[in-house]
Every structure is written in C-alpha cells, then in structure tokens.
Structure 1
Amino acid sequence: MGETWLTSNSWIFLLFSSVVLMVVFFLVYFFEVVRRMGSDHCFDVSAAYFEDPNSLRKVAFPSVFDPAEKYISLIIPAFNEEHRLPLALDETMSYLQQRAAADKSFTYEVVIVDDGSTDKTSKVAFDWARKYTIDNVRVILLGKNHGKGAAISQGMLHSRGELLLMLDADGATKVTDLEKLELEIRSSYEKELHSRAARPSDSNPKFSDVAIATFGSRAHLEQQALATRKWYRNILMKGFHIVVLLTAGPGIRDTQCGFKMFTRAAAQKLFTNIRLRRWCFDVELVYLCKYLNIPMIEISVNWSEIPGSKVRMTSILHMLFELLLIRTGYGLGIWKIRA
C-alpha cells in the first residue's frame, strides 16, 4: 500500500515537473522572440533591387521617403499564386488603364511582391512587367517565404505613390472599391485643412503629407458568413475577435480584410515600425495608428470568397501567439515606436 502511494505520488511529481518545465521553456522562448523582434525589426529601405525582365539588370528600388512619382501604388503580396494572380491582375490593370485614359493626372504602379513562391508566381509577375513595362509593373523577389506582413511592408517601403493600397492576389475585393477608400482619404484631408484654417501660421500640406489610413471592411457581411461557416469555425472566429479587441482596442471591426489604403505619410510612419511578418500585422497596424494618432476610417467593400484560401485552423493558433506578442512587446515597452 505504501509503495503504491509513493509510486502514485512520483508520477504526479514527474507530471507536475514536466508541466512546469514546459511553461518555463515557453516563457523563455516567448520573451526571446519578443526581445529579438524589439531589437531587429526594421527593413533596409535603401538596399532593395528589382529586376528588369527585358535586360535582366538590377535596378535600385526607390524609398517611400523619396518624393512621390506616381499618384497611386498598388502592392500585391503573392505566395504560390500562379493560378489566381493572372485573373486579379487582368481586372486590376484593366481598371487602372481605363482610369488613366480618362484622367491624365492618374498615374499608377503595381508592385508585386513574390514572397518566396515555389511555383511559377514570379514568371507570371514578370510576364505582366514585360507587357506593361517596369514603369507600371514591378516585381520584388523576397527569395524565401517571410510572411504576408513582411511582403506588404517591403512593397510599401519601396513604392512611389502618393496613395498606397494593399490588396490580395486572389482578387477577392473588387479593385474599383479603391475609389471608396480614396474618397474617404480626400474627405479626411479636407477636414484637416479646415481645422488648420484656424491656425493661420500653419502652411497647408499636400494630402499625401497628411497621415491617414483607410481600412476596407467585410463587417457588413458578418451575418451571412456566420450562416455559412461551420459552428466551430464561428466559435473560433468570435474568440479571435474578442482577443483582437483586447489587444488593439475598439475602432475597427474587421482588421483582417486585405484591402487597406494609406497616404504616403502614413506608410512612412507605419511600415518602418511594423514588426509582425505574418497573420496579425493588420492588428499591429491598428495599434500603431492609435499610438501615432493616425486617423482610421473603416469602409465597407465588395468581397467574395475565392477558392484556395491559405488560412487553416492552425493559423488561428499562430494568430493568437502574434496577438500575445503585440500585447507583450508594446505593453512592456520592449518594442519602441518611432514617431
């Protein structure tokens, strides 16, 4: 009887010790990740090159801190998108060309960021660069997969537009909806000018020099999504939204829509501070906008489900981990924000 009791207690002790060691190991790993991301997060905006698909020579990319050369830049992150990218690019380029033909002041560029694809995504992208010239379509090759957030950050930091729009390679959001975001930025800019009128000493800046962010949103489609998704996915998504609310606070209902527009000034501030490279960089953008007092406007956009989504159930766990990183990194002051 005594031996049985000792054996039972030994197993309990071993189990408890194992759990404690696992928790300690996780905390050590977690804080090392936070520390590393706090000390080494900035992208080098001066050493990026894109390849001219005709001459194959490397051309230095401009920096987002250079004067704007285009009215708008569209940044498309792409990872293994050889099948979905052509349709999205066809629709995008058709719209941009039509608008440019109707308005000579509307100049544009499309920056495709190949995030280490293992299929023919880069070939598809270079084919479009040849067709429309590198003045209108440019390709950044990251070499290996870094994550959607990293791909978008690279595109933003090397764009030439007064306005910078990020959009997904699957074409889930209609590119024409950029006009909604553009209109809201213009409206917010006019309000800023009106407020400055009371301060005669202030000079009126260009709209691209005023930091403003607009977020495309699918929140108006939430009830429809709840009716079509499986019950456990709804529970997970509701839980995720609650954690997002606790992390970044209220203000934006749909943080994860891949259709966001920024003025050049906003992009300079946000994408030199962004640390997360994968799923939850969108939430970090909301956090940074609040910290830097950048106005955020959420706008409903047309959105449709496109087959081939890369979001898996395991992605939710990764997202939760990244949300914890945000809360810890900024909350403890380990991650510094440049104003």
Structure 2
Amino acid sequence: MRSFKYLSLVVPAYKQERTIVKDIINLDSILSSFDFKYEIIVVVDGFDDNTFDKAKSVKKNTVKVFGYEINKGKGFAVKYGVEKARGDIIGFIDAGMDIDPSEISIMLDIMEWNKADIVVGSKLHPDSKVNYPFARKILSWGYRTITHLLFGFSIRDTQVGFKLYKRIVAKDVFKRILVKRFAFDVEALAVAYRLGYKKIYESPIKLDFSGYSSVSILNFWRIILRMLWDTAAVFYRLKILHYYDK
C-alpha cells in the first residue's frame, strides 16, 4: 500500500487534436491499474484546433478538461492545472505521449522510497531509453550546462515534461511561478530549492520523439532565445530581487 491516496496528473495540450483522445484513454488505462484514486486534468492551452472538443468527447469520471481561447504557454497551462488539482501527489506529463506514461509506476516508487519532494523524469538516468534527434541532444546539453552554472542543481536533467510533486510542494512552488512558456521547469525547480524543497530525485524514462510537434521549425530558434531570456530573468528574480522569498 502506498502512503498517498490520490494522484492528480495534469496534461497540458496545445494543437494535439491528432493524439489527445488516445493520450487520455492510455493514461486512464494505466492509472486505473493502481490501488489509489486519481484524476487526469487536461488543460487545453488555446483553441487553435479541435483539441478541446476532442478531449471533451472522452466521457470518464476520472477525466477533467479545462481550456481557454488564447494560447498562453505550457508553463501557464501546468500552473492552471496545479491550481485545480486535489491530489496528495500532483504531477504533469506532456500530451503527445513521446514519453511513455507507464514509467509513472517507477516514479511513484522513487517518491515513496525516498520520501521525495519532487521526482523528475530524466533522459540522463542510466536506465532511461531515449530516441530523439542529435540536434536536440546538443541543445539540451547546452541548456543543461547553463542552468547548472546559474542554479547549481543536483539533478542532471530539468526539461523532461514528466514530473511529480508532493501536494504541499506543488502548491507552494507554482503559486510563485511567473514564466508562462518553456523555461517554467527551471523556474519551478529553482523556486523549490529556494524554499528548501531539496529532496529531488531523477527517474528513468522511455522517450521516443515522434517528430510531430506543435512548435514549427520557423519558431524553434525564437523559442530557444526566449528560454534563455526567461532563464536569465529567473536568475535575476532569485539571486538579485529575492522575489521568491515573499
């Protein structure tokens, strides 16, 4: 028996009409095999396609679908979902299922064994099985180097879209988050460290990058620059303004 009784899993989704129904059904099938209560919170980050209507078509008591008209970013969507979450453990996983959600069993075990504050999926865990483009590996290495220099994280990989938080940690951290888009993972971990939630562990994942993304190639480099700018802003708020201490 696990010590917690309720899991909330947030699924931020943007332009995922191709996969969202399959994603939800797959997640529900996996979570229903466990002996605890759960909820799947789908947050549709902008009505730019039929993702919202497709998600709403899944009629399950364990699935809750929220959304808003204008795209605000993954960080905003996750924060929105965390605010709605009722679980003892609150996590999130990217829609599209490039990451195998069945690995949540291992993540939950790691959280239990270590009484962890946070468990993060990690491409660099020795037991991880990853398949994604070489260019992304280089960019990931570069960004990882920058964040380690700025924040001194003990974990090696901050950017995988699969994480679990104890409820008290998630609620305390995400109410302070300002980054609405892709650098929010780093901000959340930096805030957690600042608030004293340092029992953070990595968990293996299975990642198979499908090649489909809501991010166009045209916007890819803009996103990289925005991530760097947002990361610098997090450092400034953390180290200079002490904003997160409030």
TM-score, scaled to structure 2: 0.88
1:229-266 CA-to-partner distances (Å, cap 9, x unmatched) read 24xx5554433222111222131211110000011111
Matched, 1:144 2:70: yes
- Counterpart CA distance in 1 for 2:102 and 2:39 is 15
Question: More strand by proportion, 1 or 2?
Answer: 2
Q: How does 1:45-124 map to 2 (within 5 A)?
A: 71-99=6-34, 103=35, 106-124=36-54
Cross-structure match for 2:210: 306
Contact 1:243 1:323 in 2 (8 A): no
1:250–1:116 distance in 2 versus 1, CA, 3 Å: same
Distance 1:236 1:141 in 2: 31
Per-residue displacement from partner, 1:2-34 (whole Å, max 9, x unpaired)? xxxxxxxxxxxxxxxxxxxxxxxxxxxxxxxxx
Q: Tell whether the 8 Å contact from 1:181 to 1:299 is kept in structure 2 after alignment.
A: yes
Aligned-residue CA RMSD (Å)? 2.3
- 2-side partners of 1:265 and 1:239: how far apart? 32
Q: Is the 8 A contact 1:219 1:254 kept in 2?
A: yes
Identify the residue that residue 85 of structure 2 maps to in structure 1.
Answer: 159
* Structure 2 residue ranges without an equivalent (≥5): none
143-152 or 89-98, larger mean C-alpha shift: 89-98
Q: State yes or no: 1:214 paired with 2:142.
A: no
Alpha-carbon distance in structure 2 between the residues aligned to 1:259 and 1:72: 14
Structure 1 unmatched runs, 5+: 1-68, 190-210
Tell me the matched-pair count.
Answer: 237
Spell out, residue by residue over 1:309-330, the C-alpha distance to the aligned partner (whole angstroms, 9 max, x if none): 2452321111111111111122
Q: Which has the higher helix share?
A: 1
Which stretch of the first structure deviates more once superposed, 165-174 or 327-336?
327-336
- What is the CA deviation profile of residues 125-159 of structure 1, one whole-angstrom value per residue up to 9, with x for unaligned ones? 1111xx213xx111111221111001001101111
Percent of aligned pairs with the same amino acid:
28
* Residues in 2 aligned to 1:95 and 1:238: alpha-carbon distance in whole angstroms: 32
Measure, in 2, the Cα distance between the counterparts of 1:174 and 1:256.
15
**How many angstroms does 1:98 deviate by?**
3.0
Question: 2:235 is matched by which residue type in structure 1?
Answer: R
For the pair shown, the structure with the greater C-alpha radius of gyration is 1
CA distance in 1, matches of 2:129, 2:113: 29
Q: TM-score, normalised by structure 1?
A: 0.65
2:206 partner SS: coil
